[in-house]
Structure 1
Amino acid sequence: MKVSLKSYLFLSGAVGCIASASAFAQTTAPRMDGASTSADIIVTARRQEERLQDVPISITVFNQEELDNRNVTSGLDLAKYTPSLSANSRFGSENTTFSIRGFYQELRTTASVAVYFADVVAPRGGGSTSGGDGAGPGNFFDLQNVQVLKGPQGTLFGRNTTGGAILLVPHKPEDTFGGYVEGRVGNYDLRRVQSVVNTPLGESARLRVGVDWQEREGYLRNIAPTGPDRFSDIGYVAARASLVVDLTPDLENYTIASYTRSRTNGQVPKVTNCIPTRNGAPSPTGILSCDQLAREEGRGKFAVENTVPRPKLDLDQWQIINTTTFLASDTLTIKNIASYAQLTSVSRNEGFGTRWVVPPTFLGQPTGDLAGRDLSFVTLTSAPGLASNDQSTFTEELQFQGDAGKLSWQAGAYFENSKPLGTYGNQNPSNLSCADPDTLRCVDALGRLTGREGLVGSVSRQLTRTSFRNIGVYAQGTYALSEQLSFTGGLRYTWDKTTSFASKQVIRFPAENDPRVYCLNPALGPNSPTRNPDGTFNFGNAIPAADASSACNQSLMQKSEAPTWTVGLDFKPTPDILLYAKYSRGYRQGSTNPFGADGFETFGPEKVDTYEVGTKTSWRGAVPGRFNVAAYYNDFSDQQVQLGLVNLQNTVAPNTAIVNAGSSRIYGLEVEAGISPFVGFDLSASYGYLNTKLKTLSPVPIPPGSLYNFVLFTSVAGEPLPYSPKHQAAVTASYTLPLPSSVGTVTASGTYSYRSSLITTYTSAEGTLRPLSLLDLSLNWERVAGSPVDLGLFATNVTNEHYYTHVNEQSSSGFISRYLGEPRMYGLRVRYSFD
């Protein structure tokens, strides 16, 4: 754990000072516990406050109390309880990417699901591994709610996406004084402390400040001599300050400043299968993988091995958001939303979980001084002295909202400019044994073992500076054709541009600690290798060491533009019944791929046509409840899919590319319901049915002279899409005991979640995750004996299911590894509220 309690106490002290100074001047006010006090759920899915039951969009909503009871602290946690939402945390929970209704984000593409905090899209990453564009550590505290919007939302929201949007809505400062301090302890040495205080500053200003600090020991145990004892740990501090100033009765300024710092060891996948032969011949890496499995046998389900010196996953992010709202008249509101953010991450981890230890003899031959040395398939590390992601993001949106009787409308313009803060990238050793990969003290151990030293092991060094520019104009209106029937139409036009500087190098080792640097693109001339017809290489002139940091430069650019739209009809036969039908066009930008294989450095946009019908029904009375259902069909074309590029002679490390080669059809059904059959008892359920099929996958030729000679798609035509479980369900029951108010409020709740089998990659059946069922429980006692103290017990994965979250299918390299999900977690929560 690298984020110390001192960091938290420093920030928390500022909160305490504000609370102490303000307490003398305040009177008693309602407590702030994050729970909704309204019988109706309010959402902002159409950029204005509306009842959930009045919005013709399939939405899942969680308030802060529900997030706390489920111990939701990451995007992976959120996906457990949300139909049609999946999460990929292969590169750590700090870098989780989302998939909604089958629209997943391939590595090195822009987000298919946009995450918004206070109406502003999450800062971009743009690096070699996933980063930015998501909901990182410290995002899930002191929120009004989280809203998951399903289907294209590009008409009203800033950045166009094909899958949907996730809205994180923070608590806005209020005009009364109050706050809380909360502490949690639990297994795996969990420690978490939160502080929030809200205070008025005179008659026209309100301030809210909060800090969240959490540490937890990793549940993965490293049995190798290199690196820390634990992986998959938590260690972050997040701070947020919000200020609302009423400049005039009709002019409000709302500013949010936030900062997050996370320091963890990252995570390591576990090798679970070995394949000792390939095409009837021994597989050297398969044999070494079998040795690793034998070495780990009996060491526990969560035993992993690491070869990376100084492994880590560091994240630093800060952001300022300013929203100015002007009530120009009773029928016109003008809003300006501006933000600036910086995101930097550094990643060093064992990418595939392999630790191959050279035995004294191998394939019948003595191994000499290599005996006992470690080597690994691929380690994923940032380039020495550089970050994995290092990006700034500026956004500006001017919005107009009006109400002209039967017509309510919105219009606006959006601008986003994301620039690198410096050069960033990676340096990834492959099939090497390195005493220090940063200084290239390596030996081509696998090459020497197979009699091909200098031709097998290598280091791939890829550096970039990437800029994004996104511009959009939009308008949408809803016209009441009658008291019950209304028509909605919206149109947006978007211009996107990505530019990249890229430097791609391959470093080979004809002898130990003797690196030779070449360009990793034959088009760049004499410093690049060229491929012979039999797959072997002629290496060009090595780059002088003094020039290696600035060699192999390329400039890349990709532009795309497109209209997107939505049209729909809403019918309300009664105030509590809504029927709707709509058609939407979604679009996701094309971009550059500076880390892609040569000849595949850019890709084009994708689009989707979505058709959806649904109904929302609610009722009151003795047994109040709600029932919402939506059915949809998506026609997905020009799909951005990933393919792997391999040199079958292992003379260059594998790489990936993004190509517009797919077309898919997607349809499904989503149901959300809730009922209160008697006083104190609430029952809610959600279900998602998702049927996806990759209809076509166009063949992709390898460019002449490429370093690669074999293409391997991560998807298969005729099969479902990755990260698209056919069934997802969650049922939550809660009961509040009938106790006198002097005792307090005691509520017990439990959530059962189910996800059917999930495909992560198609290179074999091993790429499918088995069905998963999880049970989470909580017990909360609010206002203990009339005091301002709340107590809570929580437990996730109560039955201690052993499961995986992602598969690295590398049968061609002799092994398969998997990322392990969290075991049972439990703890105690204590909160003191003041007002």
Structure 2
Amino acid sequence: MNRKNLIWGSAALALAGAWQPAFAQEDSSDIIVTARRVEERLQDVPISITAFSQQQLSNRNIVSAGDIATYTPSLSANSRFGPEKTSFSIRGFNQDNGTSPSVGVYFADVPALRSIGGTTTGNGAGPGAFFDLANVQVLKGPQGTLFGRNTSGGAVLLVPQKPTGQFGGYVEGSVGNYDLRRVQAVVNVPVLDSLRIRVGVDRQTRDGYVKNALTNGPRDFNDIDYWAVRFSAVADLTPNLENYFIATYSKSSTQGALPSLFACDRRSATVSPTSAANEVVKLACAQADRTAGRDFYTGEAGLSNPYQNIQQWQVINTTTWKATDNLTIKNVVSYGEFREALRATVYGDSFAITSGPDAGKTAIQVFSNPYAGRNTASLSTFTEELQFQGSLLGERLNWQGGLYLEVASPLGFAGTVSANTALCQTASSFECTSFTPSAATPAGTFATPSTTARSNKYAFQDYGIYAQGTYKLTDKLSLTGGLRYTRDNYQVTSRQLTFSTITTPPSTFVSGFRPVGTCLDYVSFGNPGTAGNNGARSEDQCETYARAHSSAVTWLADIDYKPTEDILLYAKYARGYRQGGLKPEGYSLAAFAPEKIDSYEVGFKTTWRGAIRGTFNVSAFYNDFSNQQISTSGVFSTAGLPAGITLTPAQLITNIGKSRIAGVEVDASLSPFQGLQIDMGYAYLDTKVREIATLAAQGPFTSFIPGGARVDMPLTFVPKNKVTITGTYTLPLDESVGKISIGGTFTHVDAQQASYQAYDCQFGTVGNLGTGGCNRRGVLGYDIGRLPALNLVNLNINWTSVAGSPVDLAVFVTNLTKQRYYTATFGGYTSFGLEGGSVGEPRMIGARLKYRLGS
């Protein structure tokens, strides 16, 4: 499908659809959205949007960021590190570790709190974000004019319920399998005619569905345990001046996610029997064999005392002044703080040593532990936006513009102490030692064990100025143009210390001691002085500093035509931008460049009213994608480094070159007769890497051997076809009984690439993968970085106003057919000869009881 055929074919489809009959009577069920920063009817906005009301969220049991992707075409969720750390992908634009999001998440018109760490964290909808909402809107395609950078793929808008002038609220309780317990309580109080407040709390716990096969550590993982509190108030200071205040707080304390190690390179013993990494790969194979013989939802927690603690709070104040009938001035200011502490294994590995002097110890391949007394990620975020909205020329020109400032500041150093093929006592919280050679396991059997302490201070400043206007050429034909300038500054102060041979257990390090080690400042970027890399250095002596910036002008040009009130045709061209960044452990390749997107889209929306009601919205698009940011695993070959260090595994953020994204999206609903509602979403996506940039050797590195994306590969988390169909039937009962509806959702997702690094792109003896080129299917006979196709079925029964009372009852089932699937793979195959994945939820069954207060 080339660009010309795609666009012209869709335009012809749009014109054909324009002549379908429509009915002029008003429909009170029209959804109001804020996709263009003002309230508009969904069907009047020339943007591809999927919107959910709070009732739809409840009926579909959407309680986390990952759940919403099940029901949204072209939206995928990467829940590799658990549902609380989900990042979004729309139309192939996704987020890798260490990059800024490509899909912006907004709550009450304010971007989500920034964060950056060793794993995907922050920048999204955290625990407790999906209660007491007016709606959720998923905007697809670049939104760079009104929403700014880091919305190259789109934006997810969470719109909370605003305090009203009537007393009301609700108390809701949920129970289910895996000991699910959830309580929500909301009360809305009109304190005065000019003051209204709303207070809500959401508390949820659930046992984990991944069981620990080992006796150390927790019995289960992937659990839920959070509190969320929200306070909001609206004050009418004058008839034309309104102040809207929101304060939110949430805290989640869980065991985190436990990945499942399911693959290893079994050629190791024959291809390179004396390799330093050979024994580790053999231990990985032994664990993979144990995993294959167990229940799918069972893993091995080789690291004891794991945890994932996330705490965030935010205050938002919006002041709206209607200066004149044709001018409104709005100021939105916010401040919030995000903190996370994560202790977890990256691959879910537990390599037990059964013989020799190290018997009883566990070789941990890669794990993360919070730096002593610090978080693994922590940032404060301040935003200020001054908006102007108005109309001119007899309301033929509607315009808006504004100034935007965002400052994200470090809350002290944050970082991790990580072990790589270190030998650790299983029962210990963190006691690792070097390998002890013996006749059974001679020196060199294991890769050189190492422990690395990384501690960073990130800071970001974003400045933006924008303007956009829509001019009505006629009552039916409109032109929209928008322009935005954005500049992003970013800095990092980094302390990175490694122990190649561990003579002192790292537990002394995390207790606050400063044992000497080798600095990882291989190129001393911004580091004063020339103290040798090989010298013994303490934490503060290993401090480096880097800064960079990126900027861009983004724009929108749109033409839309409404032949009738219920038909909209549009065509637009937009430029998108995602900021560059810094990854200090990238050594000489620490900085990566911004992304650029040119997006072309055509579409139409139509509504039917009367006896048969429905909507049909379709869009077709083509994107030129340059400088795509991806996480690339590989190996540095180095010279002049400490004795014994010649090959250094690394995971960098690199710009791979160019990609192409084309596709079609459909959102439709139909009510063929009284009581039946059918909603359908479909997305076809055709993505391909077109060009790969070359990583040149820098500094002391003689070469960098990457594993990862190749030309003609698809982008990650992009299924070619995705369809979701929801049918809801409301029984024809008397009002005295209440309203009973029965609904079901079927979702099909094609196979999709989850990781580039899982490809068997062989490079020398590193990782024991032999020599040769890329083998798409790998030595296992299948691509372990590719998630198979998935079919999910969810059911719900809702009884509103039970027997005429203010009580609602609901029963829900998700994953009815007990599909066993992975939500992500980790890309450890080319680097370490093993692969693991995050396990999707099993069948969940539950019930909700809701008591409504007041109106």
Give your verdict on TM over 0.5: yes
1:821 equivalent in structure 2: 840
Match of 1:522 in 2: 522
- Rounded to whole Å, the distance in 2 between the matches of 1:358 and 1:295 is 15
Q: Does structure 2 retain, via aligned residues, the 8 Å contact 1:182–1:194?
A: yes
- SS of the residue corresponding to residue 201 of structure 1 reads strand
User: Displacement, 1:53?
Assistant: 0.4
Residue deviations 1:307-363 (CA, integer Å, cap 9, x gap)? 223211100000000000000011110000000000000000011111001122xxx
Deviation of the 1:436 alpha carbon: 9.0
Partner of residue 601 from structure 1, selected from 560, 571, 590 = 590
1:433–1:286 Cα change, 3 Å: same
- Secondary structure, counterpart of 1:314 in structure 2: strand
Identify the match of residue 420 of structure 2 among 430, 433, 442: 430
TM-superposed deviation, 1:585 = 0.5
* Structure 1 residue 705 corresponds to structure 2 residue 700: yes
Matched-pair contact (CA < 8 Å) for 1:430–1:458: yes
1:552 CA drift (Å): 1.1
Q: What residue in structure 1 maps to residue 16 of structure 2? A: none
- Structure 2 residue matching 1:832: 3-state secondary structure: strand
Residues 454/271 of structure 1: CA separation in 2 closer, same or farther (3 Å cut): closer
1:785 aligns with 2:777: no
Q: Secondary structure at the match of 1:766?
A: coil
Per-residue deviation, residues 550-608 of structure 1 (Å, max 9, x unmatched): 121111111111110000101000010000000000011112212x3210111111110
Q: Distance in 2 between matches of 1:281 and 1:455?
A: 13
Deviations 1:599-624 (A, max 9, x none): 01111111100000000000101101
Q: How does 1:299-378 map to 2 (within 5 A)?
A: 299-360=294-355, 367=356, 369-378=357-366
CA contact (8 A) 2:696 2:703 kept: no
The separation in 2 between residues aligned to 1:210 and 1:463, in whole angstroms, is 37
Note the C-alpha offset of 1:699.
1.3
The one of 132, 146, 166 equivalent to 1:142 is 132
Gaps of 5+ in 2: 1-26, 507-514, 638-643, 760-782
What residue number does 1:5 align with?
A: none
In the alignment, the residues of structure 2 paired with residue 46 and residue 429 of structure 1 have an alpha-carbon distance, to the nearest angstrom, of: 47
Q: Deviations over 1:89-135 (max 9, x none)?
A: 11221111111100111110111110000000000002222211101
Match of 1:81 in 2: 71
Change (3 A) 1:225 1:478: same
The reply on whether 1:739 has 2:733 as its aligned counterpart is yes
Quick one: structure 1 residues 647 and 599, their matched pair in 2 at CA, closer, same or farther if it must change by over 3 Å? closer
Query: Do the aligned partners of residues 652 and 238 (structure 1) sit closer, same or farther apart at CA in structure 2, a change above 3 Å counting?
Result: farther
Q: Which moved more, 1:74-83 or 1:410-419?
A: 74-83
C-alpha distance in structure 2 between counterparts of 1:783 and 1:374, whole Å: 57
CA distance in 2, matches of 1:373, 1:116: 46
Q: State the partner residue of 2:494.
A: 502
* Shift of residue 652, structure 1, vs aligned partner: 6.3
Equivalent in the alignment of 2:196: 206
How far is 1:661 from its partner? 2.8
- The verdict on how the C-alpha distance between 1:235 and 1:320 changes in structure 2, with shifts beyond 3 A counting, is same
TM-score normalised by L of structure 1: 0.90
What letter corresponds to residue 168 of structure 1 in structure 2?
L
Pairing partner for 1:541 from 535, 545, 549: 535
Output the CA distance in 1 between the equivalents of 2:785 and 2:291.
22
Take 1:507 and 1:641, find their aligned partners in 2: how far apart are those partners? Answer: 28
What value does the CA root-mean-square deviation take over the aligned residues? Answer: 2.2
Q: Following TM superposition, by how much is the alpha carbon of 1:162 offset from its aligned partner in structure 2, in angstroms?
A: 1.1
Cα distance in 2 for partners of 1:396, 1:634 equals 31
Give the whole-Å Cα distance in 2 for the aligned partners of 1:160 and 1:489. Answer: 20
Residue 56, structure 1, aligned to residue 46, structure 2: yes
Structure 1 residues 830 and 465, CA, compared in 2 at 3 Å: closer, same or farther? same
Instruction: Report the 3-state secondary structure (helix = DSSP H, G, I; strand = E; otherwise coil) of the residue aligned with 1:654.
Output: strand
- Residue pair 2:280, 2:447 contacting (<8 A) in 1 also: no
Distance 1:211 1:52 in 2: 30
Q: 1:459 to 1:334 in 2, by over 3 A?
A: same
Q: 1 CA distance for matches of 2:453 and 2:298?
A: 30
1:756-810 Cα deviation digits (max 9, x unpaired): 0110123321100000110000001111111111111001000010000111233
Does the residue aligned with 1:599 lie in a helix, a strand or coil?
helix
Between the aligned partners of 1:539 and 1:577, the Cα distance in structure 2 is 67
Return the letter of the residue paired with 1:820. V
User: Post-superposition shift, 1:703?
Assistant: 1.8
* Residue in structure 1 matching 2:620, options 622, 628, 631: 631
Alignment partner for residue 280 of structure 1, among 271, 276, 284? 271
Map 1:178-197 → 2, pairs under 5 A: 178-197=168-187
Return the match for 1:618 from 583, 607, 627: 607
Change (3 A) 1:121 1:437: farther
What one-letter code is carried by the residue in structure 1 that aligns with 2:453?
R
Which residue type is aligned with residue 374 of structure 2? L
Query: Aligned equivalents of 2:663 and 2:804: distance in 1?
Result: 48
Report how far residue 62 of structure 1 moved: 0.7
What is the correspondence of 1:232-247 to structure 2 with a 5 Å cutoff?
A: 232-247=222-237
Aligned to 1:673: 668
Q: Which residue of 1 aligns with 2:287?
A: 292
> Are 1:483 and 2:472 matched, yes or no?
no
Is 1:398–2:393 an aligned residue pair? no
Inter-partner Cα distance in structure 2 for 1:294 and 1:539:
41
Q: Secondary structure at the match of 2:539?
A: helix
After TM superposition, the structure 1 stretch with the greater mean CA deviation from structure 2, 708-717 or 68-77, is 708-717
**1:446–1:457 CA distance, 2 compared to 1 (3 A):** farther
SS in 2 for 1:541: coil
- Which of 654, 660, 663 aligns to 1:659? It is 654
**1:757–1:771 contact (8 Å) kept in structure 2:** yes
Q: What does residue 381 of structure 1 align with?
A: 369
Corresponding residue for 1:248? 238
Match of 1:96 among 86, 99, 110: 86
Question: Which of 103, 106, 121 is matched with 2:96 structurally?
Answer: 106
Q: Corresponding residue for 1:753?
A: 747
Q: 2:564 aligns with which of 555, 574, 578?
A: 574
Using the TM superposition, give the Cα deviation of residue 421 of structure 1 relative to its aligned residue in structure 2, in angstroms. 0.8
Q: Secondary structure at the match of 1:315?
A: strand
Query: 1:273/1:147 Cα in 2 relative to 1: closer, same or farther (>3 Å)?
Result: same
- Choose which of 753, 776, 780 in structure 1 pairs with 2:794: 776
Distance (whole Å) between structure 1 residues aligned to residue 243 and residue 743 of structure 2: 39
- Alpha carbons of structure 1 residues 517 and 820: separation in structure 2 relative to 1, 3 Å: same
For residue 284 of structure 2, give the secondary structure of its aligned residue in structure 1. helix
Sort the Cα spacing of 1:446 and 1:81 in 2 relative to 1 into closer, same or farther, 3 A: farther
- AA aligned to 1:312 is Y
Aligned to 1:466: 458
Counterpart of 1:94 in 2: which secondary structure? helix
Report if the CA contact (8 A) 1:453-1:510 is conserved.
Answer: no
1:441-472 CA deviation, whole Å, 9 max, x = no partner?
42233987451389711012111111100000
Paired letter, 2:635: V
**CA positional deviation for 1:644:** 1.4
Alignment partners' CA distance in 2, 1:389 and 1:334: 36
Answer yes or no: is the 8 Å Cα contact 1:454–1:509 preserved in 2.
no
Residue 850 of structure 2 is matched in structure 1 by 831
Moved more, 374-383 or 733-742: 374-383
SS at match of 2:523: helix
How far 1:709 moved relative to its partner?
A: 4.9
Normalised TM-score (structure 2): 0.88
CA distance in 2 between partners of 1:377 and 1:785 (Å):
59
The answer as to whether partners of 1:430 and 1:653 remain within 8 angstroms in 2 is no
Partner of 1:794: 812
Q: CA 1:352 to 1:454, structure 2 compared with 1: closer, same or farther past 3 Å?
A: closer
Q: Percent identity?
A: 46
**Match for 1:520: what amino acid?**
L
**Shift of residue 651, structure 1, vs aligned partner:** 6.1
Is 1:627–1:674's contact at 8 Å kept on the other side of the alignment?
yes
Question: Tell me, what secondary structure is at the counterpart of 1:598?
Answer: helix
Q: Secondary structure at the match of 2:418?
A: strand
Native 8 Å contact 1:276 1:284 kept in 2: no
